[in-house]
Structure 1
């Protein structure tokens, strides 16, 4: 969606209540959204008082009673969001899976009929009907549906929403497919589509196969805008975050039966490192690669410094460590200036334990969108693969100290040095993180990736940048977690190695 996008309202003629009243319903939706939208977990404008939502696109994709609207609205801060809106006469039926939190509000039609508008991603009947649009793959109105070559999309699968995502909404269809509904809409081809297609071409890579997608058509010079992605569903034992924190807690408590010291996640960390290396090598094979130029090295380090400067304004607690962090970034620039070639390629861009699923035959990496909120063009920038590695290493640190907080019953960093029991457990948590990080790096190397531990300057710089990013995030969203990245900032500013 561009700033000049025109409102597109495309009714699908039917016997339902939307035939003549779609404009009224869309207008009512936009009046109701300022009160409802800020409460959604995928709304990016936390702390922003929303006063207006304007319609950009509204199409009836499932006609009848109830009906389903696929909509995009622009808020007064310029962001665009997608909603799947169910419309039903009278109150929404809880039997449809519609919770009170999903109800957006009510509207009256021109003939006095009351309609309830609700967020329909938890309505299995409507989502199963939407799947048929992907099967047909026919352009209708303001939307286009496309298949990947050779994709098979079975119908008749019952939809069920998946929990745990923050920036998007995912719906599973049986154990075969998953529909990702993109919430924060940006113009241009979606990076995840591109990455998944590249991994599918490479073959034998731990990722989910892409099946289909929905987009707005590119017209009058505007770029197509991806709205939904249908991909293979990956049955799993759980995600990396839940598994790692459980293992970390057992290790910190001393309850783990594994012979591995301080917890039994070592083998999983090793396998996760292998999966990450395989993904990196496949992306390097299928997409562009080259070495970082001197001007790009300057641009990269300037971006790291800019992030630090922003954090210094919002979180003065990191001021004592600014000099050490600047040194870490300068050392990164010096590596390139001295003539050391630094390969760059497409990477995951937002890798952490929650982006990995433990499938029956190993780890599968998911969510290749890159860092949320950044334009797609920026997410396509070629970067050193070690940046993904550094991000995952930070995630092990988070898992350990989150588990420690659960054990002690206090937020991370609230333990005192006078609490000898807490201090002993904190040491165990740090040791568990180190042990897991070592396993990950060893697995990454065993699968053919360059050993991250042989590039301590790069690893320190990118870990420091990730920790600064975490400081900003926690200060804005979870202040009680702020001590975790602050401790990492302090360590990295002093140049302390942590990967083993």
Structure 2
């Protein structure tokens, strides 16, 4: 009965990775009672011959208050079963367990040595996430529950604890975590970190700047508009360079031989070929893209590689009252854990932020009749902020040699090719945003 209820419920959750495909079967791999009325489940979902496992906090009540009706999973007899991540009367176990280093039938709750966890704040679920569930406790902590479980230590826990041990700036301090054994491997279930308040995310700040520019008189430049973002882009570039330095100091580094660089360019080219077959609008830009990839094949020096963020964009950074903070070091959630922990050129992160500036500049133009008129202003804003970010990055130790510039351009165009395919499949009216990446530019 519970299996059937979970199968029907889980397919509707934002964080469920198998949407659009039927569930062949669902089983409960682990069922641990944490407190009366609260169970921790690990469920296995089979779809088309493959298995994914998910974490569920199962609450049980004989009466369900209105505030929890949206979290209802189903009923068994007189008992309401619901997603207890939304129940602040139950989630105090997270803080208490980490504060006391408790262990419950294989669930290990730990706090960072030397940290005292305050167990008094009550939780509130943030509503914007797609792949995880985050609970905010007062103005002190944010606890991220990793819904889809992959055996191994989550890169975010690995990175932030290593950087915090170095007293590195520009990160949200870690306070604790929850883990278990999955397939015989220590596997991260949750991580507790500093909740940044007051703070604003980079994407929202950038969009506010773009709105100010579009609302200003036509003769007003991006530098003259009231919400000019370039100073913040400069600071963000500096913060990014510092994070890259700290990552290089905290983890092993290496170099990629030139023949491997050429193989990477060949991979870019293969993905381009597949993308052109799916999105004909890309065909007119193939020559320019191929030329950028060819410049990478002409490189003669090894390429330094290290741990990087891996999914870097304006939505992954927060502006506090003092500086920029970088979040979400777990990499792209859909990629294998080994790939997310692998070493890459830090230019991959830089390219991700370059693409994010372009998206911020043109995001508000989608579906607007005056988009063509505003396009030059979008380009101006993007160019100005890209240049400021790169200036801040290089001023603070980030290296971009002429050879690096060729590699950066290839990374950026490869990401834009991916975006073209994504938008064609999911948001066709946004296709013009990544297509703009293939025009000649100065930054």
On whether the aligned pair clears a TM of 0.5, the verdict is yes
Task: Work out whether 1:481 is the aligned partner of 2:443.
Answer: no
Name the CA distance, whole Å, in 2 between partners of 1:115 and 1:40: 21
Name the CA distance, whole Å, in 1 between partners of 2:386 and 2:139: 32
Helix, strand or coil: the match of 1:455?
A: helix
Q: Is the 8 A contact 2:97 2:110 kept in 1?
A: no
CA drift at 1:310:
4.3
Residue 58 of structure 2 is matched in structure 1 by 85
Change in CA separation of 1:44 and 1:244 when aligned onto 2, cut-off 3 Å: same
Q: Is the 8 A contact 1:169 1:182 kept in 2?
A: yes
Name the CA distance, whole Å, in 2 between partners of 1:69 and 1:486: 46
Residue 460 of structure 1 is matched in structure 2 by 409
Helix, strand or coil: the match of 1:350?
A: coil
Task: Work out whether 1:347 is the aligned partner of 2:308.
Answer: yes
Task: Work out whether 1:250 is the aligned partner of 2:222.
Answer: no
Name the CA distance, whole Å, in 2 between partners of 1:240 and 1:149: 31
Helix, strand or coil: the match of 2:193?
A: strand
Deviations 1:233-292 (A, max 9, x none): 221331001111111111122179999335411111111111111100100111111221
Give the stretch that moved more between structures: 423-432 or 76-85. 76-85
Name the CA distance, whole Å, in 1 between partners of 2:305 and 2:32: 41
Residue 75 of structure 2 is matched in structure 1 by 106
Change in CA separation of 1:180 and 1:437 when aligned onto 2, cut-off 3 Å: same
Q: For residues 177-256 of structure 1, what are the structure 2 equivalents within 5 Å? A: 177-217=141-181, 222-254=184-216
Which one has a larger percent strand, Structure 1 or Structure 2?
2
1:71 to 42, 67, 90: 42
* TM-score normalised by the chain length of structure 2: 0.91
Residue 6 of structure 1 is matched in structure 2 by none
Change in CA separation of 1:390 and 1:368 when aligned onto 2, cut-off 3 Å: same
Change in CA separation of 1:236 and 1:498 when aligned onto 2, cut-off 3 Å: farther
C-alpha root-mean-square deviation of aligned residues, in Å? 2.4
Deviations 1:412-447 (A, max 9, x none): xxx4xxxxx543322111211111111111111222
Helix, strand or coil: the match of 1:79?
A: strand
Task: Work out whether 1:37 is the aligned partner of 2:1.
Answer: no
Helix, strand or coil: the match of 1:124?
A: coil
Name the CA distance, whole Å, in 2 between partners of 1:105 and 1:310: 44
Residue 15 of structure 1 is matched in structure 2 by none
1:435 to 360, 384, 391: 384
1:365 to 292, 305, 326: 326
Change in CA separation of 1:258 and 1:304 when aligned onto 2, cut-off 3 Å: closer
1:376 to 327, 334, 337: 337
Change in CA separation of 1:215 and 1:349 when aligned onto 2, cut-off 3 Å: same
Q: Is the 8 A contact 1:289 1:343 kept in 2?
A: yes
Q: For residues 104-183 of structure 1, what are the structure 2 equivalents within 5 Å? A: 104-108=73-77, 114-183=78-147
Residue 398 of structure 2 is matched in structure 1 by 449
Q: Is the 8 A contact 1:258 1:264 kept in 2?
A: no
Change in CA separation of 1:430 and 1:99 when aligned onto 2, cut-off 3 Å: farther
Consecutive unaligned residues in structure 2, runs of 5 or more? none
* TM-score normalised by the chain length of structure 1: 0.82
Consecutive unaligned residues in structure 1, runs of 5 or more? 1-27, 109-113, 416-420
Helix, strand or coil: the match of 1:39?
A: coil
Task: Work out whether 1:277 is the aligned partner of 2:249.
Answer: no
Change in CA separation of 1:143 and 1:452 when aligned onto 2, cut-off 3 Å: farther
Counting matched residue pairs gives: 439
Q: Is the 8 A contact 1:83 1:183 kept in 2?
A: yes
Deviations 1:140-193 (A, max 9, x none): 213112222222211111111123222211111112111010122111111111
Change in CA separation of 1:143 and 1:244 when aligned onto 2, cut-off 3 Å: same
CA drift at 1:396:
0.8
Q: Is the 8 A contact 2:142 2:192 kept in 1?
A: yes
Residue 497 of structure 1 is matched in structure 2 by 441
Name the CA distance, whole Å, in 2 between partners of 1:452 and 1:49: 50
Name the CA distance, whole Å, in 2 between partners of 1:154 and 1:464: 46
